[in-house]
Amino acid sequence: IFATLKEVLEAARAGKYAVGAFNINDMEIAKAIGGAAKEEKSPVILAVSPSAIKYAGIEYIYEIARVTADKSGVPTVLHLDHGTTFNDCVQCIRHGWSSVMFDGSKLPLEENIKQTADIVRIAHAAGVSVEAELGKLAGVEGHVSVAEKDAIFTNPDEAKMFVERTGVDALAVAIGTSHGAYKFKGEATLDFPRLEKIEKLVNIPIVLHGASGVPKDVLDKAAKYGAKLPGAAGVPNDAIKQAISLGVAKINIDTDIRLALTAAIRQVLAEHPEEFDPRKIFGPAEDAMKAVAKGKMQLFGSSGKA
């Protein structure tokens, strides 16, 4: 039913485009992403975090993803996002995921290598792909010195060794992005020279986490209807394009979908205080999320590649 991360990303890398990995928590988000992929004729990655599994229940979220893939008819990867334990990964492998991320980025390097390699052995035996992470995706404030960058961001030589010793299928790197809606104070800067070095040394697809754009129109709409998100800022579209040109083949988006949902629900509730039919509340949110996802597929160049 599901494509593997490896096959989808190898095609993206060869074709110099990136595939979006969109976090799903429920049916509405999944339908929005699957509907966007179908209309765009784009391969897609449905990303499920351990906390999404806890929220939805593993059987529910698996079936939602299965139906989403079936209905969209495009290559769809069911991927564990940020598994942090052996059990997180094995649970998803057993339940039919086609890809897992083991995030050992907070572990000492040797421990990250050891645990990632263990998971690769098991996952590959089951035909499941593995993404791993090296470097810290911590929020970086303002101007960062070279010494600070070396302490936080992915070291290119370590990345080469990490990939060789673990056998992972894709590598998430830290080059200045961070999760959530508050990525930059002041100008957005990513360490592209570092990304270029990593790409030259590492022979597998590179993954960019924390890649939401936090667009102004969505922020303005949310604020108009009561949201309070002062200082929210994301990765500009130009930076995303440059990252793709330098070898990024998987781009993770959660925040932009969350913001679209929040703004749409706020608008319905503010404009129709008499409304209490959930379908009238969630429906517009699904449409708004779908529009955002379609825009990402166009930006990433994955439209028309399914």
Residues marked active site are found at 81
Tokens matching residue 217: 């129109």
Tell which positions 231-290 bind ligand 13P, by CB under 6 A: 252-256
For residues 169 and 254, which CB has a smaller minimum distance to ligand 13P in the complex?
254
CA pair distance 209, 252, nearest whole angstrom: 5
Query: Which residues are CB-contacts of 240 (< 8 A; sequence separation ≥ 6)?
Result: 208, 211, 213, 251, 299, 300
Terminal Cα distance for the chain, rounded: 15
Question: Residue 105 has which token pair?
Answer: 């980025």
Pick the piece of the chain touching Zn ion (CB under 5 A) from 20-28, 90-98, 147-155, 206-214.
Answer: 206-214
Of these, 96, 139, 167, 180, which contacts ligand 13P (CB under 6 A)? 180
CB 76 within 8 A of CB 3: yes
- Measured N-to-C along each axis, helices 216-224 and 255-271 cross at an angle, to the nearest 10 degrees, of 30
Q: Binding residue for Zn ion (CB under 5 A) from 209, 258, 294, 296?
A: 209
For 165-196, the three-class secondary structure string (H helix, E strand, C coil) is HHCCCEEEECCCCCCCCECCCCCCCCCHHHHH
Looking only at residues 216 through 255 of this chain, which bind Zn ion when binding is defined by CB under 5 A?
252
Q: How far is the CB of 275 from ligand 13P (least distance, A)?
A: 29
Distance CA 6, CA 249 (A): 11
Strand partners, 251: 20, 208
User: Could you tell which of ligand G3H, ligand 13P, Zn ion, none binds residue 303, using a CB distance below 5 to 8 A set by kind?
Assistant: none
Least spacing, CB of residue 81 vs Zn ion, in Å:
6
Residue 253 interacts with, from ligand G3H, ligand 13P, Zn ion, none (CB under 5-8 Å by kind): ligand 13P
Which among 104-112, 147-155, 188-196, 205-213 is the span making contact with ligand 13P, rule CB under 6 A?
205-213
Confirm if 102 and 83 have CB atoms less than 8 A apart.
Answer: yes
Asked if residue 211 binds ligand 13P (CB under 6 A), the reply is: yes
Residues of this chain, 42-71, that bind Zn ion according to CB under 5 A: none
Cα→Cα distances 151→123, 137, 146, 210, Å:
30, 11, 9, 19
Whole-number minimum distance, CB 256 to ligand 13P, in Å? 6
Give the contact letters, 85-104, x = binds to ligand 13P (CB under 6 A), - = no.
--------------------
- Considering only residues 1 to 60 of the shown chain, the ones binding ligand 13P according to CB under 6 A are 23
Provide the β-strand partners of residue 78.
Answer: 46
Q: How far is the CB of 207 from ligand G3H (least distance, A)?
A: 12
Least distance CB 177 / Zn ion (angstroms) = 9
Number of residues located near Zn ion, criterion CB under 5 A:
2
DSSP symbol at 182: B
User: Does 294 help bind Zn ion (rule: CB under 5 A)?
Assistant: no
Count other Cβ atoms within 10 Å, centred on residue 126.
12
Which range of residues in 15-23, 42-50, 204-212, 231-239 is near Zn ion by CB under 5 A? 204-212
Q: What is the dihedral of CA 226, 230, 236, 239, to 10 degrees?
A: -140
- Indicate the DSSP class of residue 301: T
Binding interface with Zn ion (CB under 5 A): 209, 252
Residues near ligand 13P (CB under 6 A) are 23, 81-82, 179-180, 209-212, 252-256
